[in-house]
Each structure stands twice: as C-alpha cells, then as structure tokens.
Amino acid sequence: MRALAERSAPPDAFGNAAREYELGRPRWPHELIDLVVRELELTVDATVLDLGAGTGKLTRDLVPRFAQVIAVEPDDVMREVLEEVVPEAEALAGSAEAIPLDADSVDAVFSAEAFHWFASDETVAEIARVLRPGGGFAIFWNIEFGEPEPPMGEAVESLLDEAFARGGSPGLPRVLSGAWREPLERSSFGLLHEATSEREVVRDRERWLATMLSVSSIASQSDEERLALATRLRELVPDVEYRWRIRTIAYWTRLDA
Ligand SMILES: C[S@@+](CC[C@H](N)C(=O)[O-])C[C@H]1O[C@@H](n2cnc3c(N)ncnc32)[C@H](O)[C@@H]1O
C-alpha cells in the first residue's frame, strides 16, 4: 500500500483546487459512518457539525442521517462548492479556532481528513465548548491507497513524486505520528476508539487526475505548473478505468457527561 496523502501541504491550498477536489476525492464509507453513529449513540433528531467540511464530502452523508447538519469551512471556494452540492446543510464560514456556534449547541462534531491540520489545545477546547455534555467527536482519515490497477508505470510515478516534493509540508505523517492525540488526551474527552475499513475506488483518467491536482501540495502550486503537470500526465496515462483499494480509519470519543 502506498500512502498518497503523505504528500499534502498547507490547508489553505485546498481552495485552489476545490472543483478538482469535488470531482476526484472519494466519499466516506457508509459502514464506518454508521458504526460511529451507533457507537456515539446519535439519533436522527441530533444536531451535528462537520468541521473543516471542505466541499462537503462527509456533509452529504450526514444530511440523510440527522435532523440538522451544520458545515463549518474557512475556505470560501471550498464552501461555495459545498453550498452547491449539499444545499440541505447550513454552511458557515469559520474555523476550528473560532467555531461560529453557541456553547452546548451540537450533539456531535465530525471532522474528515482535516483534524491533523488544526489539532491543538485551543481547537479541542473549542470543539468541547460547542458540544453538549456527553457529546461525541468523530475523526476520519483515508490512510492508505493501494497501487492502481492497471498500473500507470514508472514515468507517472516519478513525475508525481517530483510534483509532490515541490509542495508544502506533508499531511499523512502528521496523522500517523499521532501528535493530534495529545491535545485530546489533555482534554475532557474520554477514551479514543478506532475502526478501519477498506474499499475499492474506481476512477477514469480525468477523475484520477482531478484527485492528483487536489492534493494540497499540488493545489498550492501555480496555475502554470499545475497545467503543465496535467498535460504531461494526460500524455502518459491511458484513458481507461483504474481501481485502487483505500483504507480509511475512524476515531471517536465522547466528552465527559
Ligand atoms: C482535506 S480537506 C477535507 C475536506 C472534507 N472534510 C472531506 O471530507 O473531504 C481539509 C479541509 O480543512 C479545512 N481547514 C484547514 N484549516 C482549518 C481550520 N483551522 N479550521 C477548520 N477547517 C480547516 C480546509 O480548508 C479544507 O477544506
């Protein structure tokens, strides 16, 4: 398994590639969402927050499960896409450092592919502030991407490696380092539980390319660099369907009641 998200960069890069992000990135596995919902004893009348919601990849699967879904996202372009794709959610500008909600106002906070960018004592206290006593916090990450089938070849691999290396500080090592656990351990949240799931993702060349361009270390590069990369990849990669296995991990914990 190859760690794709290993090569990602500062979170403010995502807005540059919001459309690619929406086109290329996979949704979150239903069975893992359902498991977390059960474990956190969340019911359909719950109010939940998707924090760092991006284009709403998780938000769209919270909407059918809960009475009220709020999505907080700092990037205007990502949030614009979310408003278009998931109009049923209440999209708010804001950040984990300053969540634009009242104290004790939500039953659970979800954060998908985002918490590693902002995990701190400050943001964990802010998450605890908006949660009702006993409320849940759920975190999702895609942690492993298998090799594509059919393989794309060495030239594509090394072109991508070079492009990723030009980008900013990496994302997945932050996830795997477990450093994000520390502010949770110092907080009034309880034990952290975890579960993983694996699934296959199928992409044609354009959606695969969109995924690559949405990786933040590429999204943060200039339009010229991104266009040159896309052109070269279209030359190298045959336009057929590709399959990967992706491993996703979910963590969940509850605030002391
Ligand atoms: C990789 S995207 C994940 C988007 C979405 N949750 C998903 O499931 O695909 C990371 C998101 O975190 C947001 N983000 C970065 N820093 C943040 C902060 N301090 N507070 C809240 N969101 C933040 C970014 O703007 C970006 O939309």
Count structural domains, the chain: 1
The yes-or-no verdict on residue 3 having pLDDT over 50 is: no
Mean pLDDT, rounded, of the chain:
91
DSSP letter (8 states) at residue 70? E
Is the CB of residue 110 below 6 angstroms from any atom belonging to ligand 1? no
Which residues does 19 contact at the CB level (< 8 Å), separation at least 6? 81, 210
Query: In angstroms, rounded to a whole number, what is the distance separating the alpha carbons of residues 257 and 243?
Result: 44
Q: How far is CA 145 from CA 1, 3, 141, 219, in A?
A: 6, 6, 12, 19
Quick one: average pLDDT of 213-239?
Answer: 90
Quick one: average pLDDT of 114-132?
Answer: 97
Range of the domain at 157: 4-254
CATH of the domain at 10: 3.40.50.150
* pLDDT tens per residue across span 4-27: 333 334 445 676 789 999 999 999
Q: How far does the centroid of ligand 1 lie from the alpha carbon of residue 144, in Å? A: 19
On whether the pTM is more than 0.85, the answer is yes
Q: Which atom of ligand 1 is nearest to the CA of 8?
A: 1
100 within 8 A of 73, measured Cβ to Cβ: no
* pLDDT tens per residue across span 147-194: 999 999 999 999 998 988 887 666 788 899 999 999 999 999 999 999
Q: Which of 250, 248, 252 shows the shortest CA–CA distance to 25?
A: 248
Is the CB of residue 171 below 6 angstroms from any atom belonging to ligand 1? no
202 within 8 A of 122, measured Cβ to Cβ: no
Q: Which atom of ligand 1 is nearest to the CA of 12?
A: 25
pLDDT band at 2 (very low <50, low <70, confident <90, very high): very low
Is the CB of residue 127 below 6 angstroms from any atom belonging to ligand 1? no
